[in-house]
Amino acid sequence: LIEMSYEYEHFQTVKQQNPIRVENAPLIQLIDDDISMLILLKDALERKGWMVIASTELDVAKEQYYDHRPDCLIIDINLDGESGFQLLEDIQNHTRNKYIPKIMISVKADRETRIKSYKMGADDFISKPIDLEEFLVKIERHMDNKKLFDQSSMIDELTRVYNRRFFHDSLLIFMNELSRNQRLFSLAMLDIDFFKKVNDAYGHQTGDKVLVEFAKYLKENVRQTDYVFRYGGEEFIILFSGANGNESKTALEKILKGFSEKRFAEGENAFSVTFSAGVFMVDEPEMERDIIIRAADQALYEAKQKGRARVEC
């Protein structure tokens, strides 16, 4: 009993700690209905330096997945009255163009279950009881592969615009252009307004569709010399080449008007979406990149403060 209550308390603090994510730190999602097992694995993974979100229930796990975008999933197949396969199925669409290692764990390790796991998109299968050393070395291998995969890509899997990593490379190139050829540019940071409400009202899949459409609209409505990046969840960056702050602001306002007139149909309902944007012009080659990004972010914050659906310079 003492052990149980220790576990319970520990699990409560584990749950509370879930939402904190250090920027870019690799995150592993764990789901197992056996609390002792969950705590054991979570502790072991954390001692290896990974961040872990854990849950014992399928519903919670689904929500956590969409809220936290883990880099790796460890899924117990035999959940209390439910099947871990359901989670695999649910996120199938979302993981289609991505490499997110999915590791199934199970006491039921017969040939059929193993084959089913791989057929449903799992990358590995580990049977219980778990050999902790083998488990950790396998996870490490999967996380290394994932890192390599992500580093070799410049395209965001969902929206097919450039990704955050490539943004940092591109900013360097723009800075070089500025110091060598005095070509100034503007950096705009865009964030969809009340996007949580879209997810809450219509589900994450519809939310994803909005992101895809938004990215597509941006790409189609900037000049060929401008670059569109997905910076984070529903945050995008545009590098406007050779454009000062006002020119970029005007371009964005036109985009904002056009995009907010778009109707997204969802069953009986139709809804529209706006965004807010902050623009910062870069015309000094010595300027630090962090400061540039922060300045655009600050302008975006102002746009949100002033009521959203607007562009601040």
Least distance from ligand GH3 to the Cβ atom of residue 303, Å? 10
Least distance from ligand GH3 to the Cβ atom of residue 22, Å? 17
Choice among 82, 234, 253, 302 that is catalytic: 234
Q: Which is nearer to ligand GH3, 142 or 310 (CB)?
A: 310
**Three-class DSSP labels, 241-270:** ECCCHHHHHHHHHHHHHHHHCCCEEECCEE
Label residues 98-111 b or e (16+ Cβ within 10 Å = b). Answer: bbbbbbbbbeebee
Residue numbers of the site for ligand GH3 (CB under 6 A)?
Answer: 67, 158, 191-196, 199, 204, 207-208, 211, 233-234, 304, 308
Residue numbers of the site for Mg ion (CB under 5 A)?
Answer: 33, 76, 78, 191-192, 195
95's tokens: 């993981």
Look up 177 and say whether it is catalytic: no
Partner from Mg ion, ligand GH3, none binding residue 78, C-beta < 5-8 Å depending on class: Mg ion
Query: 10 Å Cβ neighbour count for 311?
Result: 23
Q: Compute the distance between CA of residue 165 and CA of residue 89 in angstroms, rounded to an integer.
A: 29
Q: Which is nearer to ligand GH3, 114 or 308 (CB)?
A: 308
Partner from ligand GH3, Mg ion, none binding residue 199, C-beta < 5-8 Å depending on class: ligand GH3
Least distance from ligand GH3 to the Cβ atom of residue 232, Å? 7
Q: Compute the distance between CA of residue 193 and CA of residue 235 in angstroms, rounded to an integer.
A: 10
Label residues 41-60 b or e (16+ Cβ within 10 Å = b). Answer: bbebbeeeebbbbbbbebee
Q: Which is nearer to Mg ion, 76 or 297 (CB)?
A: 76
